[in-house]
Structure 1
Amino acid sequence: MSTNKNLNRLALSAAIAGILVSGTVMAQDNAQPQGTTTTTPAPATTTPKNTQQAADAKNVQTLQQVVVTGTANGGLKKIDASYSITTATLQQIKEANPKSAADLLKISPGVYPESSGGQTGANIEVAGFPGGGDAPYVSFQLNGSPLYPMSTLSFMDNSSMFRLDDTIERLEAVQGGPSVLYGSGQPGLTANFILKQGTGVPSGDIGLTYGSEGMERLDGFFGFKIADGWFGSIGGFWRKSDGVRDPQFTADDGGSLTATLSHDFDNGTIMFYARDLKDHNQFVTDTPILNPSSGSFSNYPGFSPLTGTFGSKADRYETIQTTPCNTAGCTPGGFPVDLAKGRGADLHMAGGNLDLDFGGGWSLSDKFNFTGGQMNTISFFSTGANPSTLASYISGAETADGLPAGLVATANYTNGGAANMNENVNTQGLWYVHKEISSASNEIHLSKELFDGNTLTAGNYTAVYSDHDTWYLGNSMLLQAQSNPNPIVVNLSNGTNSYALTSPQGFASGSSFALHEAWNAVNTAFFLADSWKVDRWLFDAGVRIEHQEANGTLQNNASGDLDNNPNTLYNNGSSYLINSYTTVPYSKTAPSWTLGANYEFNDNMSAYVRVNDGIHFPGFDDLRGLPSTPVQKIHNMELGFKYQADWIYASVSAYHRLFYGVPYTITTDTGQQSFVYDSDTKGINFQTLIKPFEHFTLALGGDYMDGHYTHYLTCVQYVAQDGSNQCTSINGMQLQRQPKFQARLTPAYDVPTSWGSMRFWITYEYVGNRYGDLIEQQPLGNYYDLSFGAAANIGENWSLTLQGTNLTDQTGITEGNARLFGFASSNGVILARSIEGREVNFQVKYNF
């Protein structure tokens, strides 16, 4: 661990601890009851901190809660919202015990995050949205502004840019509906995180957490009054962890610091925030798993799907060759890489919200955000080849390279010792991606109440953003097919000629794809929306016209021998950058619209109907591969019902989602296949929380969906189980990676005591059958897992929490072999990725 990293860690820890200690002193000096934090600075309540937390945990969801996401002006009660919205307080977020920001989204019915690769890089599926990987239909917002205007770039989804901590007040997650009008116009899921702000009475918390995977974490928050009408807050976290999949070095290392400054005017508020995130995370893709029959999976010898990783001390530090040299025996140019850097974030964000009421029915709202930094990746990625014996691998390589007969192989581990020719080996690509991003966005709403109950809103959203990338993919390394492997060095000789099958570090190939690109884009949208309250009816309608203009400059590449030595086989066909460039211009305009109606039967029951058309502009990666990529069109129809009583909260919606012009490209070892298709999905989302008797609640949420591909006019090539080449249509096939049925059931029980309170809960999660590909050749089966929690609030200040995930160590496959199209199991073995194994953590927190 470097000196700089230790200094950064100590500085962040000291900053949080120092601020919180001073906050404790200030709170004690004030000698006043504890306060709560809200979206708008408000007078402190007299509710003790732990009592309030217990109340938050017990409360049945309320339809009277005001939400701000997906609204044209100000806020809207949930009972009046004619769209699907899921909310969670900070306490409810913690009880969900999410492994990452992406994993939290499973509380929104129909959302399936594949949070099996670590803290970052999750694939997130929204039922009926044919993503098939990454997270193109999920956008993250901070206080109403998008973290980055494009929801997904290669090696960067929005969730990877965000970490959960005590600076968050609540989550509002909206599926479709009026979200097509605002912000980045996301037709899928918009996850809006609202930050805590300071209050009139200083308050906050400091917590220490230890996890069974060697995790140590410090959390804290402090909100305070600066002067009359001025409030501030600061908080964040620092964490290090070996990871459930221990790579023999720190798997997760970093933290975040967030500050806010807010001011109350006579006719409104203004709030500024700044957030700094620096976090490095191990990222894990496919590992070998036994696959004896369709949908059945078990441990591969020497490699647990729950705790195994190809990271190790032996392969942590490597040097990638990138630049050819011209003389025989020369050393190609390159640079060192460190697997501990992983797939992390080094980001700086700043923004703010302005809300003003001018009187006479006029009001204005403005949100702005600036984001800049790096989202880099240094990780192993599967090459697609299933494990084989070392002897078989060498024999196959000799044939593929056309080498003469009679060669004798010598194989050694890079850390010393002769390798066993009968042991199983696997190749993994050590991919390097340097990604530098920046963005600035602003959204302004100007509203006017035209007459009683009717408000018209006009506005503009503009985003200017860039992405500069350097990639070196491939770099296939020969490794033992076991967790924490050794790289293997193989040389061949017949006494006359010698051949290096691998480099001295164990690389069996150079880069298969070298890329340097610079993209700049501007999106601007104008929208007009109207809401009209007529007795018990609330109607709303809106239209948006958006224009995207993007320009890319791509450095061209070539392939060849990097060291001018044909006998060093490992770098003979490497991809490298050359001094010529290609430009890619793009300019498109497309409309979105929405129409909804909500009927309130009484104060605790309503029903709604909504129709909307959304769009999804192509991303930079789409344009690089196919500049003529069409703008996707999404048509959504939804019918919903909400009900609340003392003993129940229920929200149910039925939907029909149609997609047109969806692009898809899969990269395999034989090249690329690109598709453009449509899809058709019908489904039901449901959320309910029941209180059958005092102190006990039962929460159930999930969805059923029937989605398939349509209107694909030709067939796609794939390799069948018998090795033959086949061609089939994707029409009628189930949407890739999406379960037809998924559900989560959480019984919870509260125990009041003379010294505070206790709460116990357990969550059963079921994820139904899915397929890893578009042609249903990679069945992923179904799985379940159990998580639990126990919390004790002691007095007014102390809280203890014990939580755990995947208690029974279930194997649950989230993705198949991402480098193969078609049947991927060979001799009962498949490369796939499972959910992580059991993890338990314990937190001690002091609230003040």
Structure 2
Amino acid sequence: MKNKQLTRLTLSAAIAATLMAGTAYAQGSAQSSTTSTKQAAAHKPSVKNAQNLEQMVVTGVATTGGVRKIDASYSITTATNNQIQLANPRSSADLLKLSPGVWPESTGGETGANIEVAGFPGGGDAPFYTNQIMGTPLYGMPSLSFFEQSSMFRFDDTVDHVEILQGGPSVVFGDGQIGLTSNYILKQGTDTPSGDIGLTYGSQGKERLDGFYGFPIGQNGWYGSIGGFWRKSDGVRDPQFAANKGGQLTATLTRDWDAGSLVFWARGLDDKNQFITPIPLIQNSPGNFSAYPGFNPLTDTYYSRAMQHVYLESYPGGGTNANLADGRGAKLGFFGANFDWDYGNGWSISDKFLVDGGNMDTNALFSGSNPQTLSSWETGNGVPTGAAVTASYTNGSGMVTNPNADVISQGWWHIHKNLKYVVNDFRVSRRLFEGNTLTAGLYLAHYTDNDRWSLGNPMLMTNTPNATPIAVSYVQNGQTYYVTNGQGLIYNGGYNITENGVATNKAFYLSDSWKIGQWLLDASGRVENENAHNTVCNLSPVNIDGNAYTLYDNTVSMCNGTYTRTDYNKTHPSWTIGATYKIRENMAVYARANKGVHFNSFDDMRGSTTGNTPPLLKIQNFEVGYKYESREFLANVSFYHRQFDGLSYQPSVFGVPTGAKSTYGSDTKGINFNMKYTTPNQLFSVDWVGDWMDGHYSHFEGNVAFYGLPTAGNPSGVFYTNINGKQLQRQPKVQFRLTPAFRIPTAYGDLRLWATWEHVGNHTQDQTGLQELGSYNDFDVGAQFDYGKNWVFTLMGSNVTNALGLTESNSRIAGSAAGATGVILARPLEGREYSLQAKYRF
């Protein structure tokens, strides 16, 4: 507890003290400060309107100077710090829906989102998403079990703007991501000291302190900045302890020269976040849902103080204490450096370096079977008929005497994940002749993942909000048998492993860009090698305490002292070509083709043997687009065709293979659009961002055998279906966000009012397409008032109509997840929430 308090106080004090000092310095030196326009322009990343097609972007570009958005032969979404705040994202992942066709399932909380990109058949976690800061990926693999890169990032006032790129040239640069890349550019100091400090209060016990301060250091071209946040919140789904708690501190140090710049940046993140478990609902018909009796689908959660602290005997190495309040959080440190230099005569270099590491642990409930009666649970867990059963609440509040009491079993999972990463991306460019630049680059990354898992651990509890665990025992022939331990846990089975992965990626890439009149052409290629190995302990059943009468731990799968190592060494090329034709200065058309690969992760190696790992996932993408901007209109529309190959399938029933492995793929056509209209007097605007896609699985041979909910006609629960032509799982066919906004000038400052209508079309849970999740519409609102030169007041409201919309159902049940009574476990949108921020800018 002392360490937690110290962390909180340190972060708060550091931010507050720095900002107060910065305010004083800014006020004291405002009169004497002089501005070096040349130096400030050399490194300051800030832009007034990141949606403007004249803005320079650097993501997906070979040369350090970047390219104007209208000249880029690909579609890229950008947003300034203020535009990000006004979008009111529920999480770092939720922010990504600014890019049309991106579907972040952020109903699970602020971290651990599933991130889907239209036409990329993911189905869970975020295998086709890379998060960058200052152009550098944050880890060597996009995602692993219980980890995806948006969880490594928290948005605050230290961010200047973000660039979000789908496919296109990203298959060649950075880590060669074939899907989605977001690149956050940090604010840096300028000649004039400036900053802000803000305090936010929310309707769900939210308290947050934000701040930033940028300043010059001496008169020699050095600049510094520091900022961050600290917050706590009960969350919309109050778990009876802090749902989100922690903070972040970021600093930059910049040096400018006439020929280039050097930027150092560092970030410390210590944040804990509730990972929200699906709750019960009633499925009235396919895609139509209503509240389950006793549960508010907008605000309730199973989490409670009664189950917050547990001791897990199944944790590898002898057991461990675990705390739900630690959630799915991050405790990470980052240190990066960017160096750019122009040597003249057409030669320039750029180098990006990053080292980071820390823990990304998970403490959460994971859904098992649907709710049932207590007597049904006892029968399913081996309690003999006629035995004298004792069921008692673990918090000491009494006995459970009703055999028809509504109960549920949820897995109390604890995963300790330690990550380390170092990467360097070096490139050299040479202007061969007027309009033509050739760039060569070398990307090197080395990273590790050391895990300890305690999975399974089903905990019996009341099927109620803020549930209470239940301990069960019975007496037979004068002997007491303990079905659960005193915490309501059963350790038998489970998946309690140690896993240690080490990998090195090496890539060489070459890119040529050529401007010929109104044409801008580029062609790039990359050859990459991933050399990795993963070591996982082998499991054997163990009676942990040696007591035959404690039934809950008689056959626990535990590490037996032997290990399986899988080696993986693959090399593969990727390429992209693109062309932009400038019809006029404010109008262009473009076309792009690219082909890339997705290398295996440590999770793909687990359970495989050397030489028997899944095949490379490959995609080819074709895109044509149109860009236009005038005083009133902005349009960026693209049509894409994405073909995917290399998905693997092993037919099995109850985990036993029943046939040969096969591969299949997907085929998707779609339209991304980003449009805006602004009246000539700038008093009204409307933004419309969205995607239509037709994506389905292709060239699948035979039928899928899967285990779903048993029925009277099929008590085994084994089902068969063909997935050819089925809609890509978890991807809406249509999604868009429409935002009308008004600006009202007053004598004291501008008042802005806006509302966002979000429509998410029909989507399904898994590859079978048998569990429909329907569609939904939700509304966010906002108001912002600039009072004078220094004060900004912002009021935000999310899901103000309390829409009941689902993003996913129980991912551990294939096919239809609804029981005979229509009960389904799913994650709905969080209910209505408001927040008010007061910010002082100096």
Q: Answer whether contact 1:635 1:658 (CA < 8 A) is retained.
A: yes
Cα offset, 1:423, TM superposition: 2.0
Aligned residue in 2 for 1:828: 822
Paired with 2:753 and 2:509, the residues of 1 have a C-alpha distance of: 47
Paired with 1:94 and 1:201, the residues of 2 have a C-alpha distance of: 24
Q: Answer whether contact 2:51 2:77 (CA < 8 A) is retained.
A: no
Structure with larger RCO (C-alpha < 8 A, sep 6+): 1
What is the CA deviation profile of residues 252-283 of structure 1, one whole-angstrom value per residue up to 9, with x for unaligned ones?
11000000000012210000000000001110
Any idea what SS the aligned residue of 1:625 has? coil
Any idea what SS the aligned residue of 1:586 has? strand
Paired with 2:407 and 2:530, the residues of 1 have a C-alpha distance of: 47
Paired with 1:35 and 1:650, the residues of 2 have a C-alpha distance of: 40
1:307 aligns with 2:332: no
1:647-796 → structure 2 map (5 Å cutoff):
647-663=632-648, 676-694=663-681, 695-718=683-706, 719=708, 723-724=713-714, 725-796=718-789
1:61 aligns with 2:51: yes
Any idea what SS the aligned residue of 1:394 has? helix
Which of the numbers 146, 156, 163 marks the counterpart of 2:147? Answer: 156
Aligned residue in 1 for 2:216: 225
Which of the numbers 374, 383, 399 marks the counterpart of 1:418? Answer: 399
1:406 aligns with 2:386: yes
Sort the Cα spacing of 1:166 and 1:511 in 2 relative to 1 into closer, same or farther, 3 A.
Answer: farther
Paired with 1:150 and 1:7, the residues of 2 have a C-alpha distance of: 33
What is the CA deviation profile of residues 733-770 of structure 1, one whole-angstrom value per residue up to 9, with x for unaligned ones?
11000000000000000111111111000000010111
Q: Answer whether contact 2:694 2:733 (CA < 8 A) is retained.
A: yes
Q: TM-score, normalised by structure 2?
A: 0.95
Aligned residue in 1 for 2:339: 354
Sort the Cα spacing of 1:512 and 1:557 in 2 relative to 1 into closer, same or farther, 3 A.
Answer: same
Which of the numbers 588, 591, 594 marks the counterpart of 1:612? Answer: 594
Paired with 1:743 and 1:841, the residues of 2 have a C-alpha distance of: 24
What is the CA deviation profile of residues 311-362 of structure 1, one whole-angstrom value per residue up to 9, with x for unaligned ones?
10100011111279xxxxxxx9422111101100000001011110000011
Paired with 1:696 and 1:449, the residues of 2 have a C-alpha distance of: 45
562-571 or 449-458: bigger deviation: 562-571
Cα offset, 1:43, TM superposition: 8.8
Percent identity between matched residues is: 52
Paired with 1:701 and 1:463, the residues of 2 have a C-alpha distance of: 35
Alpha-carbon RMSD across the aligned residues, in angstroms, is 2.3
1:466-545 → structure 2 map (5 Å cutoff):
466-510=448-492, 512-545=494-527
Which of the numbers 301, 313, 334 marks the counterpart of 1:321? Answer: 313
Cα offset, 1:14, TM superposition: 0.9
Aligned residue in 2 for 1:643: 628
- Name the aligned partner's letter for residue 397 of structure 1: N
Aligned residue in 1 for 2:76: 85
Sort the Cα spacing of 1:220 and 1:733 in 2 relative to 1 into closer, same or farther, 3 A.
Answer: same
- Name the aligned partner's letter for residue 115 of structure 2: I
1:397 aligns with 2:381: yes
Paired with 1:319 and 1:360, the residues of 2 have a C-alpha distance of: 66
What is the CA deviation profile of residues 105-153 of structure 1, one whole-angstrom value per residue up to 9, with x for unaligned ones?
0010000100001110000000000000100111000000001111001
Aligned residue in 2 for 1:379: 364
Any idea what SS the aligned residue of 1:285 has? coil
Q: What is the aligned residue count?
A: 826
Paired with 1:112 and 1:810, the residues of 2 have a C-alpha distance of: 18
Which of the numbers 790, 814, 835 marks the counterpart of 1:841? Answer: 835
Any idea what SS the aligned residue of 2:335 has? strand
Any idea what SS the aligned residue of 1:42 has? helix
Any idea what SS the aligned residue of 1:405 has? coil
808-817 or 507-516: bigger deviation: 507-516
Aligned residue in 2 for 1:274: 266
Sort the Cα spacing of 1:486 and 1:36 in 2 relative to 1 into closer, same or farther, 3 A.
Answer: farther
- Name the aligned partner's letter for residue 353 of structure 2: F
Aligned residue in 2 for 1:592: 574
What is the CA deviation profile of residues 709-749 of structure 1, one whole-angstrom value per residue up to 9, with x for unaligned ones?
11222321134765523312211111000000000000000
Any idea what SS the aligned residue of 1:301 has? coil
Sort the Cα spacing of 1:786 and 1:182 in 2 relative to 1 into closer, same or farther, 3 A.
Answer: same
Cα offset, 1:301, TM superposition: 1.7
Paired with 1:207 and 1:585, the residues of 2 have a C-alpha distance of: 50
Any idea what SS the aligned residue of 1:7 has? helix
Q: Answer whether contact 1:123 1:135 (CA < 8 A) is retained.
A: yes
Paired with 2:655 and 2:503, the residues of 1 have a C-alpha distance of: 32
Q: Answer whether contact 2:346 2:430 (CA < 8 A) is retained.
A: yes
Aligned residue in 2 for 1:343: 328
Which of the numbers 125, 131, 134 marks the counterpart of 1:134? Answer: 125
Sort the Cα spacing of 1:574 and 1:449 in 2 relative to 1 into closer, same or farther, 3 A.
Answer: same
188-197 or 506-515: bigger deviation: 506-515
- Name the aligned partner's letter for residue 702 of structure 2: T
Paired with 1:783 and 1:573, the residues of 2 have a C-alpha distance of: 45
Cα offset, 1:38, TM superposition: 12
Q: Answer whether contact 1:40 1:197 (CA < 8 A) is retained.
A: no
Paired with 1:642 and 1:73, the residues of 2 have a C-alpha distance of: 22
Cα offset, 1:421, TM superposition: 2.7
Paired with 1:185 and 1:232, the residues of 2 have a C-alpha distance of: 32
Cα offset, 1:422, TM superposition: 2.4
Sort the Cα spacing of 1:333 and 1:269 in 2 relative to 1 into closer, same or farther, 3 A.
Answer: closer
Paired with 2:270 and 2:544, the residues of 1 have a C-alpha distance of: 35
Cα offset, 1:665, TM superposition: 8.3
Sort the Cα spacing of 1:259 and 1:551 in 2 relative to 1 into closer, same or farther, 3 A.
Answer: same
Paired with 2:38 and 2:641, the residues of 1 have a C-alpha distance of: 34
Any idea what SS the aligned residue of 2:41 has? coil
Q: Answer whether contact 2:498 2:536 (CA < 8 A) is retained.
A: yes
Any idea what SS the aligned residue of 1:769 has? coil
154-163 or 409-418: bigger deviation: 409-418
Sort the Cα spacing of 1:248 and 1:723 in 2 relative to 1 into closer, same or farther, 3 A.
Answer: farther
Q: Answer whether contact 2:190 2:214 (CA < 8 A) is retained.
A: yes
Which of the numbers 614, 632, 647 marks the counterpart of 1:629? Answer: 614
1:82-231 → structure 2 map (5 Å cutoff):
82-227=73-218, 228-231=220-223
Paired with 1:684 and 1:481, the residues of 2 have a C-alpha distance of: 43
Any idea what SS the aligned residue of 2:313 has? strand
412-421 or 835-844: bigger deviation: 412-421
Paired with 2:537 and 2:655, the residues of 1 have a C-alpha distance of: 23
Paired with 2:539 and 2:616, the residues of 1 have a C-alpha distance of: 28
Any idea what SS the aligned residue of 1:24 has? helix
Paired with 2:282 and 2:797, the residues of 1 have a C-alpha distance of: 26
1:10-25 → structure 2 map (5 Å cutoff):
10-25=9-24
Aligned residue in 2 for 1:283: 275
Paired with 1:160 and 1:788, the residues of 2 have a C-alpha distance of: 26
Q: TM-score, normalised by structure 1?
A: 0.94
Any idea what SS the aligned residue of 2:763 has? strand
- Name the aligned partner's letter for residue 174 of structure 1: L
1:454 aligns with 2:436: yes
Cα offset, 1:670, TM superposition: 6.0
Q: Answer whether contact 1:468 1:518 (CA < 8 A) is retained.
A: yes
Any idea what SS the aligned residue of 2:825 has? strand
Paired with 1:175 and 1:458, the residues of 2 have a C-alpha distance of: 22
Paired with 2:478 and 2:691, the residues of 1 have a C-alpha distance of: 66
- Name the aligned partner's letter for residue 715 of structure 1: N
Cα offset, 1:453, TM superposition: 0.4
Paired with 2:624 and 2:28, the residues of 1 have a C-alpha distance of: 54
What is the CA deviation profile of residues 453-481 of structure 1, one whole-angstrom value per residue up to 9, with x for unaligned ones?
00000111110111001101000000111
Sort the Cα spacing of 1:294 and 1:174 in 2 relative to 1 into closer, same or farther, 3 A.
Answer: same
